[in-house]
Amino acid sequence: MATMRRLGVLITVLLLLTAPFAHAAGKEAKERAARKACLSGDYAKGVELLSDLFIDTKDANYIFNQARCFEQNNRCEEAVSRFREYLRKASGISAADKVDTEKHIADCQALIGTKAVPETKAEVATVVAPIHVPAPAPVVVAPPVVVPPPVEQVAVASAVPEVAHPGRGLRIAGIACGVVGLASVGTAVYFYTQAKSYSDKVSGQTVPNPSDESAGKHAQTMQWVFYGAGAAAIATGTVLYVLGWQAGDSGGARAGIAPIFGPGVAGISAQGAF
Distances (CA, A) of 197 to 2, 192, 202, 203, 224: 22, 9, 9, 10, 16
pLDDT at residue 8 in the model: 59
Domain ranges of the chain: 28-118+154-161, 164-274
Confidence label for 157 from pLDDT (cuts 50, 70 and 90): very low
Taking 50 as the threshold, does the pLDDT of residue 158 lie above it? no
Taking 80 as the threshold, does the pLDDT of residue 118 lie above it? no
Q: What is 28-118+154-161's CATH topology?
A: 1.25.40
- Section 200-224 average pLDDT: 85
Q: What is the dihedral of CA 100, 106, 112, 113, to 10 degrees?
A: -160
Taking 70 as the threshold, does the pLDDT of residue 262 lie above it? no
Confidence label for 198 from pLDDT (cuts 50, 70 and 90): confident
pLDDT above 90 covers a percentage of the chain that reads 36
Identify the weakest region by mean pLDDT among 72-81, 140-149, 261-270.
Answer: 261-270
